[in-house]
Amino acid sequence: MTSQSPSEPEGLARLRETVARDLARISYGTKPWSPAHTHRGEPVLDVAIVGAGQGGLAASFALRRIGIHNAQVFDRAGRGGEGPWITFARMITLRTPKHVTGPDMGIPSLTAQSWFEARYGAQAWEELDKISRHDWQAYLDWVRDVLDLPVVNDHALVETAWDHGVLRLTFETSSGERVVRYARKLVLATGIDGGGAWHVPPEIASALSPDFYAHTHQTIDFERLRGKRIGVLGAGASAFDNAATALEAGAGRVDLCLRRRALPTVNPYRWMENAGFLAHFHALPDLLRWRFMRHIYDLNQPPPQDTFWRCRKHANFAFHTATPWETVRQVDGANGPEIAVDTPDGEMRFDFAIIGTGFVIDLTRRPETAGFASDVLLWRDHYTPEDGEENQLLGSHPYLGPDYQFQPRDGAAEPGMLGAIHNFTFAATPSMGLSGASISGMRFGVERLARGIARDLFVADGAAHLNSLLAYQVPELTSLEPPVEIMS
C-alpha cells in the first residue's frame, strides 16, 4: 500500500486507510508461497501480465490476493494512457450500470462507488446515472496507486517464444530498447482488439488517402472536421460516439450508414449480467456455447439511448439503414477532393469518413501472438456447427481451455507453451463469456483466471513444496512443563 499523496483529497485519504484496514483483516493466506525460479541466470516471473487496463490491474490484484506476488504488469502506453478511456473512447459515460464491480475483487472499500462517494459525496452517487469515462479512468488509476500494483509502462511485447520450458518475452521500450524477461505464465489482457486488429474494409483502405478517413480507434482531429460533410460507416455504439463527437465539434453534416435493415434495439449484454451466466457459461457444452454466442453476435449491441439522442438532437445528423457502402472512391469536387460512395439508394458525397467496422480476430495480426498463432486451436478447428448455424466470425476465435489458456492444434510445435499463455481479451468471449475486456464480466472472469494460474504453478512445484514441508522445523510446542500459575 502506498502512503497518502500531499495533494490527495481528505475523503480519498480516509478511504485509503479503510482499504488498508480491510485488506489487513482478510490477509489470511495471501503471503507469498511460490518458490523462486531462475533461467539462464535471470529471475523468472511467476506471471507476466500484458496490459495495464482494467483487466490487467484486476488480474494482478487477484493473483496477489491468493499469494502470487512474483508478477509484473507491462503496458505499451505511458502512465495514464492505458486502455481506451482517455485515448480513443468517445462516449460521455460508460455503457454499463454504475453499480458494476470488477477490480475491487469483492472488497467494498475498493469499489467504484466507494471511490466516487469519497471524491464527490454520497448524494452525488445517488444522483448519478452512469459513471463518466474520465472518472472510470481516474478510479482505475486510484486502484493501481492505492494497491501499489507492479506496473511497468512504455513496454510493448513484440515477441513471445518458448525457451526450454519457460516463456521468453521480448519487450520494446518507448526509446526503442529491447528488453527480455522470462516468465512461467503469461496473461494477455490487451483489451477488445487483443485477439487481432482493428478492421478497415480493404476496398476503403485501398481507395482513400489516409488523410480522408480514420477508424474509430484512431486519433482524430475533430476540429479539422468543422463545417465538413462526414460519413460514418457502422451501427455500433462507437460509430454513434464518433458521429456525436464530430457533430459537437461543428461538423457541417454527419450521415451514419449501416448495412442492417433496422437499427439494433435489444442489448444482449444486459441479459448476460447475471451470476449464472457470468460464472458458469464456460462449462456449457460446445453446442450451447456456439448457439448463445451466435445469437449474441448476430444481435450486436445497439447504441445506448443517451448516445443515440446525443446524435439525434442535431438537425444535421441522419442515419441510413440498409445502406452498405458498395464502392468507395476519391474524386475531384467543386472545392477539392471528395469521397464518393455508391449505395443501393444512390451516390453520397463526403469530405471525411469515419470507419466504425470493429475488429477482426486473427492472432497473426499481433506481434505478441504472431510467432505461435499457427499452433493455436480455433473454434473452427474444434467444432462443426449444425447446418444453418455456421458463423465465420465465431470460428476465427481461439478455442480456450477452462482457465483462458490457449490449446494446441494437432502437431503444434510447442504445446506446453500454449498452456502457459492465458487469453484474457475479448477473443475469449465464445469460450468463456464476458471477461477481461468487459467490465460486466471482469469479477467472475478474473477469479477463474487467477485460481487456474495459481493451481498450475502449485502443481508444477509440488515436489518442492513437499521438500519444504519435510524441512519445516519451526516448533509450536516449546515447553513440556505447565506455567507456574497453572500449578497453583
DSSP 262-301: S-----HHHHH-SHHHHHHGGGS-HHHHHHHHHHHHHH-P
Q: CA-to-CA distance for 139 and 74, rounded, in angstroms?
A: 19
pTM: 0.94
* Residue 111 amino acid letter: T
Pairing state between β 421-423 and 196-198 = unpaired
pLDDT(441) > 90: no
Q: Which residues pair with 387 in a beta bridge?
A: none
Side chain identity, residue 268: P
CA pair distance 86, 111, nearest whole angstrom: 20
Residue 35 has phi, psi (to 5 degrees) of -65, 150
Domains and CATH numbers, the chain: 10-195+361-465 (3.50.50.60), 200-265+302-357 (3.50.50.60)
Q: Predicted confidence band at 5 (pLDDT cuts at 50, 70, 90)? A: low
Q: Is 348 helix (H, G, I), strand (E, B) or coil?
A: strand
How many of the other CB atoms lie within 10 Å of CB of 298? 11
Note the pLDDT tens digit of each residue in 187-243. Answer: 999 999 999 999 999 999 999 999 999 999 999 999 999 999 999 999 889 999 999
How many CB atoms are closer than 10 A to CB 486? 7
Question: Which amino acid appears at position 349 of this protein?
Answer: R
Per-residue pLDDT tens digits for 328-357 = 999 998 888 999 999 999 999 999 999 999
- Mean pLDDT, to the nearest integer, of 44-56? 97
pLDDT surpassing 60 at residue 161? yes
What is residue 301's predicted lDDT score, i.e. its pLDDT?
A: 81
Give me the torsion for CA of 142, 143, 145, 151, rounded to 10°: -130
Q: Is residue 4's pLDDT more than 80?
A: no
pLDDT-above-70 percentage for the chain: 98
